[in-house]
Amino acid sequence: EADIYQTPRYLVIGTGKKITLECSQTMGHDKMYWYQQDPGMELHLIHYSYGVNSTEKGDLSSESTVSRIRTEHFPLTLESARPSHTSQYLCASSVLTGSTEAFFGQGTRLTVV
């Protein structure tokens, strides 16, 4: 079944640690996105990609980085986690053109202590 997967679902980590949030999709979509969402708040786009070797920064500035070496995989990395990075991170994918309907993963809730 075509889907989009995020791991881990929940992560509690200490300040200064390096973390990578994983996102994979099996739908063959070219576009992938990372959104940041604080509890009860709107979604803010932090990164997106049009395809392999393409990465762009979104509307909200973020200290995280992303890579797109394979079409199906779009990991997000924080080199040194801080409490201000505590949030929910949502990954999504869509076709490149047309309706741009996005399909979302279940999210990773990150807590930095």
Partner 1 sequence: AQSVTQLDSQVPVFEEAPVELRCNYSSSVSVYLFWYVQYPNQGLQLLLKYLSGSTLVKGINGFEAEFNKSQTSFHLRKPSVHISDTAEYFCAVSDRGSARQLTFGSGTQLTVLP
Instruction: Read off the tokens for 99.
Output: 């309706």
Can residue 58 be called a binding residue for partner 1 (CB under 8 A)? yes
Identify the residue among 48, 78, 93, 110 touching partner 1 (CB under 8 A).
48
Instruction: Read off the tokens for 101.
Output: 């309907």
Identify the residue among 76, 90, 110, 112 touching partner 1 (CB under 8 A).
90
In terms of CB distance, is 3 or 79 closer to partner 1? Answer: 3
Can residue 60 be called a binding residue for partner 1 (CB under 8 A)? no
| Cβ neighbours of residue 81 closer than 8 Å, sequence gap 6 or more | 13, 14, 15, 16, 17, 18, 19, 110, 112
Q: Is the dihedral of CA 93, 110, 44, 65 positive or negative?
A: negative
In terms of CB distance, is 8 or 16 closer to partner 1? Answer: 8
Can residue 100 be called a binding residue for partner 1 (CB under 8 A)? yes
For residues 47 and 76, what is the distance between their CA atoms, to the nearest angstrom? 9
Identify the residue among 11, 22, 45, 65 touching partner 1 (CB under 8 A).
45
Instruction: Read off the tokens for 81.
Output: 């986690």
Instruction: Read off the tokens for 16.
Output: 């200064």
Can residue 68 be called a binding residue for partner 1 (CB under 8 A)? no
Residues lying near partner 1 in the complex (CB under 8 A) are found at 6, 31, 33, 35, 40-43, 45, 48, 50, 58, 90, 92, 96-97, 99-107, 109
